[in-house]
Chains A and B, each alone.
Chain A
Amino acid sequence: MTPTFNLRTTVGLLLLLALVLLPVYVELTGSRFLLTLFTRIVILALAAVSLNLILGYGGMMSFGHAAYLGIGGYAVGMLAFEGITSGFVQWPVALLVSAFFAFVIGALSLRTRGVYFIMITLAFAQMAYYIVAGLARYGGDDGLTIEKRSQFIAPINLSNKVQFYYICLVLLCGAIYLVWRLVNSRFGMALQGARSNDTRMRAIGFPTYRYKLIGFVIAGTLCGLAGALLANHTDFVSPAMMYWTRSGDLIIMVVLGGMGSTFGPLFGAVALLVLEEVLSGITEHWQIILGPLLLLVVLFARGGIDGLLGKAHHG
């Protein structure tokens, strides 16, 4: 689909532009906290983009996606703990390990459908959580502090917050573009067909399992990258990153932003995390509003923000 300049794409691109200009704003106003917040938003948006591939386009409701955040993060954390701080080693390891686990988990889980698929992905994520929480050497339940961020060659310095922000932003843009090309390719059409009507796909000759599995692996790997970034951002990793409710948060972002749309995950991440900030400024009990809000979105605005923008264009 060519990027026709409709409202949804325009808003999406404007948002990216705003994100590019953010550090300038921060420099002018001195609100360094905003930079921290938006770095986190960008990283989680990357995770949401990866989930959108399998959930929004592929129709695979994985409730264990946060596991890859943890896997990528712990790859960085564990290697750093053992003295290997080079990003050139850490990040490829994070990606490879994430891909491996996604392959194994996907290979087993994709033999099931519907709510069983949800349950089994959730179960695997919990397994990962318990394994990591049991590793006393790496902090177990309490988590692991990362003394030194991933080292690359100069002038790249991840400890420089502005630099790190732009690195994350570039990776996010890359991911959005990658997913956009993927879903419109033959592979993407196969995924979308499988989401739309898996039986029909098999009847016309697609062995859907293999395409869904590859999609699952790609999504897991991208999320592992987000995990590596997150570990660097917080200088800390803990099993809590992978708890099943974190997967729920990611799903909320994807749905809130608009499933199966290019900029949906970005909208969702920004909306959710900004909302979190704003609401928690008003009351510490902001989740009381978020909960019912989610219910209302499900009931009345199923297409999320992207859907609303789409309707605004036509109606």
Chain B
Amino acid sequence: MMTAVAQWRRRRLFIGDRDRRPVMTLFIEQCLNGLQFGLLLFLLAAGLTLVFGIMDLVNLAHGSLYMLGAYFAATFAAWTGSFVFGAVLALGATLLVGMAVEVIAMRRLYGRDHLDHVLATFGLILFFDELVRLIWGAGGMSLPLPSWLNTSVRVLPGVDYSAYKLSIIVVSLAVAAFLYFLIMRTRLGMLIRAGASNREMVGALGVNIKLLFTLVFGLGAALAGLAGLMQAPILTVQIGMGENILILAFVITVIGGIGSIRGAFVAAILVGFIDTLGRAYFTDLLRLAFTKETAATAAPALSSMLIYLLMAIVLVIRPEGLFPASSK
């Protein structure tokens, strides 16, 4: 089972640090990687911030839904022989699981202390991790890249980029646009925005709050599942993957402002860039001032810390986040 640091190392190897290609090409590629990672994080953080903003629910088990998305996709893709089919089925399955969790467990937590949420959803993490181990075994799974996406695309003269990663960017942007449309232009979206600012009012307006909450939670679950299944071919499908990335999602939620999709988008892109570029260039940066060994030792630690440093700074300067949604 891969630990967080081993995963980090794998990503770094994947990014490549003995490249002979021109610096500019590498830089553009890293920027695209940063964008892609940021958009994945956005999908995850969007669900989290929605649930937090509207239901005032701290859901640590959000990462578990991300993990389920990946596992479902790996399984369904293997059964149907098609990546896309598998992905669609996985999305549906995650949505159903999400709504089931809301009805069975989350409902009873609304209005309670955040500590209760943290404890209860932490229990859910344990449950889901073990459930996955029970059903799929401890070894993790793999989801191979669909062959028609396993190529490169020439995005700029001299710059080839993985078609799959490009499709992640495209799909994520499409989902972001869809979310924008949903939140800003539909009645449901209006209820969501109203609920983020003032929950009691929405209830008092006679809206079926229960159904609204179930739908919002389900939406969040689907987004998490989508993120999970999209990253599966290039990163990982294993138990505990949710816990690793959940922190980043929370950090993004805090930086962006709780309840704000726009904030989550900006913060996620920012975090994606900082994280990716940091890992790619930090060693080299440090090598300017320190010895090779020191740089090699300090770089991974420091670049991982950058995100947390950013969050700490935001919390000190502007605790409501960059784009605070609620006025309560």
Residues of A within 8 A of B (CB): 61, 63, 108, 111-112, 114-116, 118-120, 122-124, 126-127, 129-131, 133-137, 140-141, 239-240, 243-245, 248, 251-252, 255, 285-288, 290-295, 297-299, 302
Q: Give residues 116-157 of B contacting A (CB, 8 Å).
A: 116, 118-120, 122-131, 133-134
Let me know if A141 and B5 touch, CB within 8 A: yes
Partner of A290, one of B108, B123, B247: B123
Given contacts A120-B312, A130-B300, A134-B300, contact A285 B134 (CB under 8 A): yes
User: Can you list 10 pairs linking A and B with CB atoms under 8 Å apart?
Assistant: A115-B114, A116-B315, A123-B251, A126-B308, A134-B301, A251-B119, A285-B133, A288-B127, A292-B123, A295-B120
Q: How far is the CB of B300 from chain A (nearest CB, A)?
A: 5
Q: Other than the known A126-B308, A239-B5, what 6 A-B pairs have Cβ atoms closer than 8 Å? A: A126-B304, A134-B302, A244-B243, A291-B125, A294-B120, A294-B123
Let me know if A288 and B118 touch, CB within 8 A: no
B297 proximal to A (CB < 8 A): yes
Let me know if B301 and A133 touch, CB within 8 A: yes
Q: How far is the CB of A58 from chain B (nearest CB, A)?
A: 13
Taking CB atoms, residues of chain A closer than 8 Å to B118 are: 61, 63, 118, 251
B204 proximal to A (CB < 8 A): no
Taking CB atoms, residues of chain A closer than 8 Å to B5 are: 130, 133-134, 140-141, 239
Determine the distance from Cα of A114 to Cα of B56 in the docked complex, in whole angstroms.
12
Q: How far is the CB of B272 from chain A (nearest CB, A)?
A: 17
Number of interface residues of B (CB under 8 A): 48
Given contacts A122-B247, A255-B119, A285-B130, contact A112 B315 (CB under 8 A): yes
Q: Give residues 81-115 of B contacting A (CB, 8 Å).
A: 105, 108-109, 114-115
Let me know if A114 and B315 touch, CB within 8 A: no
Taking CB atoms, residues of chain A closer than 8 Å to B3 are: 133, 141, 239-240
Taking CB atoms, residues of chain B closer than 8 Å to A288 are: 126-127, 130-131, 134
Smallest Cβ-Cβ distance to A299: which chain B residue: B108
Let me know if B122 and A252 touch, CB within 8 A: yes
Determine the distance from Cα of A115 to Cα of B56 in the docked complex, in whole angstroms.
10
Let me know if A293 and B312 touch, CB within 8 A: no
Let me know if A292 and B250 touch, CB within 8 A: no
Max chain B C-beta neighbours (<10 A), residue from A245, A287, A298? A298
Smallest Cβ-Cβ distance to A247: which chain B residue: B122
B311 proximal to A (CB < 8 A): yes
Let me know if B254 and A116 touch, CB within 8 A: yes
Taking CB atoms, residues of chain A closer than 8 Å to B4 are: 129, 133, 243
Determine the distance from Cα of A134 to Cα of B258 in the docked complex, in whole angstroms.
32
Taking CB atoms, residues of chain B closer than 8 Å to A297 are: 119
Smallest Cβ-Cβ distance to B119: which chain A residue: A298
B319 proximal to A (CB < 8 A): yes
Partner of A287, one of B120, B127, B297: B127
Taking CB atoms, residues of chain B closer than 8 Å to A290 are: 123, 126-127
Given contacts A252-B119, A255-B119, contact A127 B247 (CB under 8 A): no
Q: How far is the CB of A219 from chain B (nearest CB, A)?
A: 16
Taking CB atoms, residues of chain B closer than 8 Å to A130 are: 5, 300-301, 304-305
Given contacts A288-B131, A291-B123, contact A114 B114 (CB under 8 A): yes
Taking CB atoms, residues of chain A closer than 8 Å to B297 are: 134-137
Given contacts A61-B115, A118-B114, A291-B130, contact A131 B122 (CB under 8 A): no
Given contacts A290-B126, A291-B124, A292-B123, contact A122 B305 (CB under 8 A): no
B298 proximal to A (CB < 8 A): yes
Smallest Cβ-Cβ distance to A290: which chain B residue: B126
Let me know if B304 and A123 touch, CB within 8 A: no
Let me know if A295 and B105 touch, CB within 8 A: yes
Let me know if B58 and A115 touch, CB within 8 A: yes
Q: Mark B281-309, 1 if CB is under 8 A from A, else 0.
A: 00000000000000011111110110010
Smallest Cβ-Cβ distance to A120: which chain B residue: B315
Given contacts A63-B118, A252-B119, A255-B119, contact A294 B126 (CB under 8 A): yes
Partner of A120, one of B134, B299, B311: B311
Smallest Cβ-Cβ distance to A239: which chain B residue: B5
Let me know if B120 and A111 touch, CB within 8 A: no
Q: How far is the CB of A263 from chain B (nearest CB, A)?
A: 20
Smallest Cβ-Cβ distance to A129: which chain B residue: B4
Determine the distance from Cα of A294 to Cα of B121 in the docked complex, in whole angstroms.
9
Let me know if A245 and B243 touch, CB within 8 A: yes
Smallest Cβ-Cβ distance to B121: which chain A residue: A295
Q: Mark B1-41, 1 if CB is under 8 A from A, else 0.
A: 00111100000000000000000000000000000000000
Taking CB atoms, residues of chain B closer than 8 Å to A293 are: 123
Taking CB atoms, residues of chain A closer than 8 Å to B251 are: 119, 123
Taking CB atoms, residues of chain B closer than 8 Å to A244 are: 243, 247
Let me know if A116 and B319 touch, CB within 8 A: yes
Determine the distance from Cα of A188 to Cα of B131 in the docked complex, in whole angstroms.
42
Determine the distance from Cα of A61 to Cα of B116 in the docked complex, in whole angstroms.
11
B316 proximal to A (CB < 8 A): yes
Let me know if B254 and A119 touch, CB within 8 A: yes
Taking CB atoms, residues of chain B closer than 8 Å to A119 are: 250-251, 254, 311
